[in-house]
Amino acid sequence: MNLDFMKEAIRLARESKGGPFGAVVVKDGKIIGRGANQVTVLNDPTAHAEILAIREACRLLGTFHLGTCELYSSCEPCPMCLAAILWARLDRVYFALTRQDAAAMGFDDEQFYRELTKPALPMQPVGRELALPLVAEWNGKKDKTPY
């Protein structure tokens, strides 16, 4: 853990125009991805600091796996960002503020974590039989890039 990387994440959060959140992705002691919340600037609910930092790091490295990297975030990642962190296979996450701190600033992180323990919206499977051939097609594909 390097406090200088957290300071950079906090600096990005402080300068952000889209919400008070910043994040950096670090590999081998160097920042390879930076993100500052851009949700309200881009009108994009997925433009969280962690997501943007992950995207930049992946572009720089030319991969979608960041298994040798760490993420520093000014705040505990929301469920969406946590899912992206898991998909990116980051080694470790450090965060400063908690989801309760985010709630104190008026953000829904804590509520979303609670919602994940129960159905958040109506969901219903439709057309499974139409899509089921995709399983065999994908499994039989010789040129696929596994996740």
Location of structure tokens 């609670």: 114
The answer to whether 50 is a known catalytic residue is yes
Mean pLDDT by 10 residues, the chain (147 residues): 95 91 97 96 96 98 96 94 96 93 82 73 77 82 75
Which residue is catalytic, options 8, 50, 70, 76?
A: 50
Q: What is the pLDDT of residue 110?
A: 78
Q: CA 121: distance to chain centroid?
A: 22
